Amino acid sequence: DKSFSCRRSLNDEQIKLLIETDGLIGINFCKSFLGDEGDDGFEAVYRHMSHILELGGENILAIGSDFDGADMPIGNIIDSRPLIVSSNHQNFVGELQAFMAELINAGKTNPVVIKISYDTDSVEELQIMAAADFGAMLLNGFGSGIWIDAPNIDLETRNRIALGIRQAARLRISRTEYISCPGCGRTLFDLQTTIRQIKSATSHLVGLKIGIMGCIVNGPGEMADADWGYVGEGNGKVSIYKGKEP
């Protein structure tokens, strides 16, 4: 109501109803939907977003850019201003990557936080889905940070998953990393118990990579980038590796 009146705009009562029902509202980037023709495009986007936030809509706000039909150059984004991006598109990973590619092509270096929402109450399911969604983008070089929006999962667990995803993408090392084989007929010791014991003794060594391998056949190759290794060499014998050297 306070931003700009357009036949496709939602009024304050409609926005409040979306807030109450955990809905989603995507800000369109077409200037004719945002303000007068003379209005600066992204300032208009910012104004509309700010109005929704003033109404308490921080959890329903998204970007519904319509880039294929928008008439606003992405170059109008103010440099260095952090951006939070999300999408309700069926292929949201593709749409988000397309947006961030447009930023790069326009020479923008804005920090981008990628927000994805999940309604699962399973920690294991969240780990798998978030790793697949965010991992694809991070490994492609997109995104400065990630925001896992999962109201059914406690914040501490969500943060732990987020840090794990960023560590797996080699963007931020926040804990000890372990590399292990699944074990096979050549493994002559209790691999699972050994892993638990080594983790218990070394989990405080942030940034260290430790390989725990069942045998000498494939172990040294599979843990080639580890700082230290624990490798079974025969019945009752293990070798400790520092780097690639036993």
Q: Specify the higher pLDDT residue, 66 or 86.
A: 86
Please, which pLDDT band fits residue 155 given cuts at 50, 70 and 90?
very high
10 Å Cβ neighbour count for 68?
A: 6
Mean pLDDT over each residue of the chain, to the nearest integer: 84
Q: Specify the higher pLDDT residue, 117 or 49.
A: 117
Q: Comparing 69-73, 106-110, 119-123, 188-192, which segment has the lowest mean pLDDT?
A: 69-73
What is the C-alpha separation between 42 and 67, in angstroms, rounded?
13
Residue 38 has which token pair?
Answer: 């003379």
Look at residue 1 in the predicted model and tell me its pLDDT.
46
CA nearest to 28, candidates 75, 62, 51:
62
Look at residue 76 in the predicted model and tell me its pLDDT.
61
Residue 165: pLDDT over 50: yes
What is the C-alpha separation between 205 and 177, in angstroms, rounded?
9
Q: Specify the higher pLDDT residue, 156 or 173.
A: 156
Integer angstrom CA distances of residue 211 from 165, 175, 190, 220: 19, 14, 15, 9
Q: Please state the pTM of the whole predicted model.
A: 0.59
Please state, for a pLDDT cut of 70, what percent of the chain lies above it: 86
Look at residue 31 in the predicted model and tell me its pLDDT.
66
Q: Which amino acid is residue 119, in one-letter code?
A: D
What is the C-alpha separation between 16 and 52, in angstroms, rounded?
9
